[in-house]
Structure formats: C-alpha cells, structure tokens
Chains A and B, each alone.
Chain A
Amino acid sequence: MKKDTGKYLPLIPVFAVYLVLFLMGKNMSGMWQLMAMLLFYCALGQAFNIFLGMTGYVDFGYVAFMGVGTYGMALSIVHLAHYEVLGAWVIVIGFIMAILFSTILSLAVGAVALRLRGAYFAIATIGVNEGFRFLIEGARIWNGSEGLIFMGELNQILGREAASVLATFWADVMVLVIAALAAAVTLVYMRSKIGYALTALREDEDAAKVMGINVTKFKIVAFVTSASFAGLVGASTWALKTPYVFPPEVFEIHYTIEAIIIVLLGGAGTLLGPVAGGLIYGLSKYYLSIFLPGFQLLIFAPIIICIIVLFPEGVVGMLKKRLRDTALGRYIV
C-alpha cells in the first residue's frame, strides 16, 4: 500500500507548477494571458511526449491531430447550435468529437505508418498534416478552404457574456485540466507494462520483439493516447478561444516544431520534462516576441541543434541523472 502511493509522488512537482501558474494568472492582474500561454505549451509538450518521448519516434505531422480536434469542436458547435435542449452540452459533445476525430485519424495513420521503422515512419508522417489539409481543401470537405466561423452559434448557445468568459477563462482552465490529465496518464503508463514495453522498444526494437513485446500494439497505444490529447488541446485553445477554423492555420507545421522543441528542451520521455520545456520555451518566446519580434525561430533552430548535439537528455533528463539515489530523485521522473 505504502509502495503504491509512492509510485505517484512524481506528479506532485508537475501539479504544483500547474497550480502556481493558475494562481498567478488568476490573482495577478494582466498575467492571465501569459500564464494561459505557458499552460498551452506545457499541455502540448505533455501530450506529444507520450508519443515522441516514450517511443522515440518522430511524428512530423502531429499538428494534424490538433487540427482535426479543432474541427471536432467546430463541427459540433456549427451543427448542434440550433438544438436548444442541448444547451452547453454542445461543448461537451464537441470535446468528445475532438477525441473521436483525433483517435480515428491516429488509428488510420498509425495502422499504416507504425508498421514502419524509425526514419520510414518519420517520412510517412511528414505529409500527414499537409495531406489532410489538402484533402479538406481539395475535396471541399467541411466547407473546404473557406473554413468554419461560429462566433454566432457560440453566442446563441451560451449567450454573449458566457461565450466571452468561455473564450478568455474556461478554455484556458480546460487546457490546464488536459495538461494535468496527460501528465497523470504519462505516469500511469510509465508505471505499468505499457511503459516498460515502450522503454524497451525505444531502446532496441528488435530486442524488444524477441523479448515478447508486441511493439506495433504498444506504439499504437502511445500514438492514439498522444493524439487524443492533441485533439483536446486543439478543441479548447483553437476552437473555443478563437471561434473559427481555417485549414492552413490548424494544419500549420509550426506547432509540431514547437511541440518537438518543448519535449527535447525539457527531456524526452520524462514526466517533468514537458513542464520544464513548456515554461522555458513559452517564456523565451514571450520575451523574444517583445524584444526581437519575428526572430524566434532564427534563435530556436540553432538552440535545438545544440541541445541535440550537446545535451540530448534535456533539462529534466540531466537533473534526473544527478538526483538518482537521492531523496529528491523520487519526485523527478
């Protein structure tokens, strides 16, 4: 019993950071937006880490899951707004649709791409977001390249006042909840057979197979989990905060890049890494955009290269090594 509660101690620092961000945003005037942005990056990192960090596979099309999640929410609002009985449940249905869409897309992509090894997988995914975007635009699905705009529907469902509070407050709270959930799921995976299987296949896929691990199955588990969190992030930050969807925006590879930077910066495959990465990335982006607007990527690209070459373990990875066998070490995984 004692041992089992000890297993989940590493969630304490993660949740503590999230709580501090929330309280700072809520109580210090003018800070909410910055805190919300930091939470968004932590959530993004936490979600992507479940796949990139735990399997060692790079999904260059990750943003596609955020994109279809956004569409899941948007379509629910657009199509269900006139059913007055549903009321605010439309938003709940929207989140379910977001999970559904991202799960279906990740199963479809995963079924093909996760049979492939390392580099071939990365190549297969590099076009997923663009491919999906061009499918939507080319076949004029979901209003094609004109996108969906649903400010009116949102106001109709919730009333103007509540819709605005949703966009400026509750959507961000939802992101916080997603980040915390993703962290909890990460730790549950780490402590279960799934985590052991993922570590094994990340380190040596052939040896893992011979050890009896159904590598494709576990990769798909990680992929789908990670994708559905991405779908939720998309649904809350993009669809609820800015009530419109345009294909070129929600399938923009830029967000995949940000997710990769966050995970690597913090330490791939660690629980606390995405938090550290999200904070460092979010804060530096925020201040760079004030002092050196437009140069964020110019500065971040060489930083990623340096991390990969010099500190492949990331901030938390190094910390974890230092603190192995110490009392603090139990809190950092």
Chain B
Amino acid sequence: MALLKLEEVTKRFGGLVAVNAVSLEIDAGEFVGIVGPNGSGKTTLFNVISGVFFPEEGRVFFEDKDVTRLPPFKRAPLGIGRTFQIPRPFASASVRENVAVGAMFGVLGPEVNVNESLKIADQIIERVGLQEHRDKQAGTLTPVEKKLMEIARALAMKPKLLLMDEAMAGMHPSDIDGMVAFIKNLARDEGIAVVAMVEHIMRAVVGMAEKVIVLDQGSKIVDAPTKQALEDPKVIEVYLGHPPEE
C-alpha cells in the first residue's frame, strides 16, 4: 500500500495548466526528491497534496483514503506535514509555542493537552538544536533558524509524510550537508516519508533521495530510482536545454 497516491491530478489557474495529469506514489518511510525548474509546478503539486488547492481533475489518496477534497486542516491530523519555501513562522509567538502548535493540532492533536504539547515541543526543539532560542519570538530568528523551527514544528505534528519545500534554499553550502544528514536521520528514525522539493539537482538531493521525480511544465517526465533518473536523457534536456540565464 502506498502512503500517498496521486491519480492523474490536474490543477489549472485560468488558462494555465500548473500541474498536468500527474500520477505518483510515495511509500511509507521513503525519501523522494521532486526536482524541476522554476515554474514546473512543484509548489502547486505540494499545495494539492496538503490541500491548499483542490485539483480540477484526478484524485489524491492518503493511506488509501480519498482526500482529494479534504480541507488542509483535516489532512494534517492524518499525518501530512509540510514546510514552506520561505519560512512562515507565527512571528509573535515564541519558538516553543510555534512548535507546540504542531503537536496540538497534528496527528497527536486529539490526545495531548497544552502542557503535554509544550513538553513534546521541548524535546523536538532540543533535537533540532534550537534550545537556546526556545523562548525567543519566532520572528526574531535568523533565516536558517526559522527553517529549523519550521522543521521542528512539522515534526511535532508526528507526520507520516513530510513535504519540504526548498528546505535548503538560501542556506550556506556548508550548512546544507549537515541539514541533509539531519533530515535523513530523522526520517529514518521516525519512519517518516519525506518528499523534498528542490529547484536544482543538487549533490545533496542525490545523496539522500531514494527516488527522484522530475517535473517539467506541469508534467511528470521522470519517476525513477535516483541514479537511473539522473542519467535519463529527458532530465539532461530539461536542465541543460535551458539557456543559462534562466
């Protein structure tokens, strides 16, 4: 049974087809990289999976349950967590409160009270190494700290599937390796399937993903184990066929 299954999903904005008949499957605990140039429909695809947009056609299944038209706040408790391309902290709240929100309304939501959520938050904050910043207002963190906080907030939801939108964008190259190793360990320890979306085929992705899905202009053009995907001529065309100034 696939954890997440998309069947011929199409999302249009006016005349523009942002996601074009995409089908894919993600298994539990799997680490998948979704790669595609800017405007290839990656973020839209994430938004369809997390419920921000409903697709015009096709269906989305999570653990065999049809979630195509389920609002986002009902998907989170099922175990779909996500981070954003540009971090979106609840700026006036402390780091601890931000992370506790994840515990309170995620998969654990119905079982935990506020105090228990704060305890879970403390553990996860330690895990991502933000304990020094625990009581700071989230809006005052540096961009990298904000990314870590978002990851912590998503982890506090105890997700089965974690969607990471450009988790490494804007990070210093020396931090990226650490981040990749961290996410990979985390995913393995917690048994979380991670779908990481990146604009470019980075060494980082190659290092961690078991499978790579390549999107181009809204369509899926490749879906294969990492090594095989990278050698696919279509991928090379998408990336090298574009003039460099794009």
Chain A interface (Cβ < 8 Å from any Cβ of B): 3, 191-193, 196-197, 199-200, 202-204, 206-215, 269, 324-325
Contacts and interface: CB of A to CB of B under 8 A. Distances in A.
A204 B88 contact: yes
B114 A192 contact: yes
A206 B73 CA distance: 10
Given A197-B104, A213-B73, A269-B92, 7 more contacts: A199-B101, A200-B90, A200-B101, A203-B90, A204-B89, A212-B73, A324-B135
B90 A199 contact: yes
Given A192-B114, A196-B101, A210 B76 contact: yes
B105 interface: yes
Nearest to A324: B135
Interface string B143-162: 00000000001000100000
Nearest to A195: B114
B5 interface: no
A192 B97 CA distance: 12
A192 B116 CA distance: 12
Interface in B82-116: 82, 84, 88-93, 97, 100-102, 104-106, 109, 113-115
Q: Which one of B76, B97, B135 has the highest number of Cβ atoms from chain A below 10 Å of its Cβ?
A: B76
A202 B90 CA distance: 8
Nearest to B109: A212
A261 B27 CA distance: 54
Interface of B: 50-52, 71-77, 82, 84, 88-93, 97, 100-102, 104-106, 109, 113-115, 135, 153, 157
A193 B112 CA distance: 10
B225 to A, nearest CB: 30
Given A191-B114, A206-B52, A211 B92 contact: no
Contact of A212 (B89, B92, B97, B157): B157
Nearest to B80: A210
Contacts of B102: 211
Contacts of A325: 135
A200 B88 CA distance: 10
Contacts of A200: 90, 93, 101
A193 B104 contact: yes
Contact of B73 (A3, A192, A215): A215
A192 B135 CA distance: 18
A196 B106 CA distance: 13
B88 A207 contact: yes
B114 A211 contact: no
A192 B51 CA distance: 26
